Amino acid sequence: GSEMCIRDSGKTLMGPRVPDVKPTKLTDKLYVIKARDKFPTPQNLGFFTNITFLVTSKGVVVLDPSASVEIGRMAIRMIKTVTPKPVIAVINTHYHGDHWMGNQAFAEQFPGIPMYSMKESAEAIKNVLGEQWIQMALKTTDKATRGTVITPPNSFIKDGDVLDFGDTKLNIHHYGKCHTPYDLLVEFSGTPYMHVGDVLMGHRMAGMGDNEGSFLEGMKVLDKIKSNFGDRTFIPGHGQWRNTLLAEEIALFQTLYNTSVAVIKETNDDPNGVGIALKRIKATPFMVEYAKHTPDFENSVAKWTSLAYLEAEQNNF
């Protein structure tokens, strides 16, 4: 059955073909293949992360090719409906697998192309995280991602770097720890758009666990984005691109973290403090509204409150 690794003429069986999702055009050059869902399921075959691509005078640049080799192949089919130009670069904004597991399709189709990330992200993928994500995807999609192998980034970029693709330059920013310690922001110069990976998300609370992210550091990162790029339209890894994503994420982080700090101080770090904080957080007008549009809200808000509360305790005592 499906538990066995079925081999066909010596080749490992691949997961099912991922249905085509027509790219949405943002500018003459910029497109997003939008994921409909916020989390991986057997039904969506692991396609829950937006794929952004840019058609430049030198060729196509792909950002975050989502979560499996078959999703990557779907992206390549869709790029071909827009331009005959080859893909000449891939960028992975951080080390979570739903942003790099599609790399494999591009490595197969366009051998030797640079795949950019921060060096630390690539090292994390090669060490332990890569295999964890491969396994997690198989589990959450009921093996729809099978055949996907770790294809880590091979070229390294950091804050302040500029990638020049002829008629378009990509300005690379890293403002510190937010969703992970190594989140890249990619500014498409000459456009109102900025790709934010998972630093901003549309009605989704995810990540931040295992000491990867930080609410306190994250608020500083969000503040820097606001100072430098407050007027941009932000393209997130999950959810709809819009300008209001930033204000929403700032409100989310502040509500979770500042409420936790207040409860710790008021109750003198009561053992039931996290429960008190959760109740208060859920009652804020911001959260009441946010809950209406956020899948899996109850689980997520409990998890995020406990993380914010733990961090607030560590920072205040």
pTM for the complete prediction?
A: 0.94
**Spatial CB neighbours of 127, under 8 Å, sequence gap ≥ 6:** none
Q: Phi and psi of 60, rounded to 5°?
A: -95, 135
Q: In terms of C-beta density within 10 A (0-12 exposed, 13-18 middle, 19 or more buried), how is residue 312 classed?
A: buried
Query: How far is the CA of 74 from the CAs of 16, 113, 162, 287, in angstroms?
Result: 11, 18, 28, 36
- What does R_g of the chain's alpha carbons equal in angstroms? 20
Which helix (H) or strand (E) segment is 234 a member of?
A: strand 233-236
What number of other Cβ atoms are within 10 A of residue 81's Cβ? 10
Report yes or no: 153 and 129 within 8 Å, Cβ to Cβ: no
Give me the tens of pLDDT residue by residue for the chain, a chain 317 residues long: 444 454 444 567 899 999 999 999 999 999 999 999 999 999 999 999 999 999 999 999 999 999 999 999 999 999 999 999 999 999 999 999 999 999 999 999 999 999 999 999 999 999 999 999 999 999 999 999 999 999 999 999 999 999 999 999 999 999 999 999 999 999 999 999 999 999 999 999 877 777 789 999 999 999 999 999 999 999 999 999 999 999 999 999 999 999 999 999 999 978 899 999 999 999 999 999 999 999 899 999 999 999 999 999 999 87
